[in-house]
Amino acid sequence: MTEYRFAAEADYRNLIEMANRAFDPEHHTGDFEKDTSAQSFFPRILPKLYQNIKTAPMHYLAVEDGKIVGIVGNFDLPTIVAGEKLTVIGIGTVSTHPDHRREGHMIRLMNDSVERAKKLGADYMVLGGDRQRYEHWGFENAGVDPVFSFDEHCFRHAYGKDAVFGYEFVPFSRECTAELSEAKKLRTAMGTYVLHEADQEYNIYFSMGAKPFFIRKDGAFFGTVMRFKDNVSDLRLTDPAKAGEVLNDFRKAFELETLRVNRIAPDQEEMLAVLSRLAGESTLESCQMIRVLNYERTIRAFLRMKCEISAVPDCMITLEFENGERLRIGVVDNEAVVEKLQPSAPAEIRFTDPASAVNYFFGHLRYITDFGLGELSQAHFLPLPYFMPACDEV
């Protein structure tokens, strides 16, 4: 008989080993101390979660005969959006033991996780993974993540072939406490960021195998960046106008033929302007998948952020959502308006499933389509600027 329960700290090692085996059975050794494969060793690829025993109780388990056979992580990600604190649950490490697949464990664990988030009063849930798989639970791609691509010619035309601006890129070190403090100031100055325990500030920058660097100019702290081979994310600078110069030196320092930059927060307008002019090519991708549970609070926070970023013409729409919420949503004098309506109030648009609502409000294709709802010109504030930094992914 299968027991479904949340883990205790005593389950810490066993749940990590099960996840290692499930995600990469080819390289899994079964030895907690020696299994250091970059592909499978969870404490290495997600240290903020798996070098922290306090996160063990955030894992919902399927257990058979005392053996963990399924896991869904339910991670607390308290998130600040435009100054408002939202309750967010990050779903991660979704895995089933190879010998126990197709037994229904994942369906049960995911169903229970969604119901638990509702009972906790979560505003939304977030995960990364296969869209078709998780759409079953109401998750849909959200956010507009601009991706900028550079090669040697971009920088040569802008600055000259031999230009070097003197920026240094120093690997993160726990001993650099002053720079870690400055890094946190930059991170929490963004319009969207996750609240982390103080002792995890160092670990968060190593998410998904990233190599984080302090950026220095003339020996002084200038910013941070996370490197994933020839891709960099979460570039944050004390002077965003110098983003092109920093990337010019970064490419040369690591002898990269091409460079891809993403996860620039939507409120970093000066940096976005610099990168858009300098890049050889730019595209728009989605950020992550989310499921909204409380539309009133979630939409209000991101609509406030939209109004802070840009001037939005007055507009108003009324909507009904699949969870029964009826809202009047819009902008008046560049101020966000989100009001509850009575259950009997008429609604111009009705959503019968959560994925459609996410697509409509947060999808990056919202720039070019209203998904057949016939009011593209009316909702001037869409899409809303959903964003999650790379350092906060689970």
Instruction: Look up tokens 């504030």; give the residue.
Output: 381
Dihedral, CA of residue 187, residue 330, residue 311 and residue 191, to nearest 10: 0
- Residue by residue, DSSP assigns 121-148 as T-SEEEE-S-HHHHGGGT-EEE--EEEE
Per-residue pLDDT tens digits for 184-213 = 999 999 999 999 998 899 999 998 889 999
> What pLDDT is recorded for position 380?
84
Please say whether the beta carbons of 390 and 187 come within 8 A: no
Hey, where are the domains in the chain?
2-122, 146-285, 293-367
Angle between helices 354-362 and 295-309 (to 10 degrees): 10
> What pLDDT is recorded for position 22?
84
- Domain 146-285 sits in CATH 3.40.630.30: yes
Residue 143 predicted with pLDDT over 60: yes
The dotted CATH code for 2-122 is: 3.40.630.30
Q: With 0-12 CB in 10 A as exposed, 13-18 as middle and 19+ as buried, what is 322?
A: middle
43's CB contacts (< 8 A; 6+ apart) are: 16, 50, 51
Q: Which two tokens stand for residue 182?
A: 């400055």
Q: Are strands 315-320 and 349-350 parallel, antiparallel or unpaired?
A: parallel
Q: Cα(first)–Cα(last) distance of the chain, in Å?
A: 30
Residue 179 predicted with pLDDT over 60: yes
C-alpha closest to that of 143 among 161, 164, 126, 122? 126
Reported as a pLDDT band with limits 50, 70 and 90, residue 41 is confident
C-alpha closest to that of 199 among 51, 7, 57? 51
Reported as a pLDDT band with limits 50, 70 and 90, residue 259 is very high
66's CB contacts (< 8 A; 6+ apart) are: none
In this prediction, residues 13-18 reach a mean pLDDT of 88
- Taking the C-alpha atoms of residue 212 and residue 207, their distance in angstroms, rounded to an integer, is 9
DSSP code of residue 157: H
Q: With 0-12 CB in 10 A as exposed, 13-18 as middle and 19+ as buried, what is 161?
A: exposed
List alpha helices for the chain, DSSP H: 12-23, 42-45, 47-50, 105-120, 131-134, 152-159, 177-187, 243-253, 269-278, 295-309, 354-362
pTM of the model as a whole: 0.93
In this prediction, residues 96-102 reach a mean pLDDT of 91
Per-residue pLDDT tens digits for 223-256 = 999 999 889 999 999 999 999 999 999 999 999 9
Alpha carbon 363 to its chain centroid, in Å, reads 14
- Taking the C-alpha atoms of residue 168 and residue 215, their distance in angstroms, rounded to an integer, is 6
Q: Do domains 2-122 and 146-285 have the same CATH topology?
A: yes
Please say whether the beta carbons of 17 and 9 come within 8 A: no
Per-residue pLDDT tens digits for 208-228 = 889 999 999 999 999 999 999
Alpha carbon 139 to its chain centroid, in Å, reads 14
33's CB contacts (< 8 A; 6+ apart) are: none
Phi, psi of 153 (to 5 degrees): -65, -35
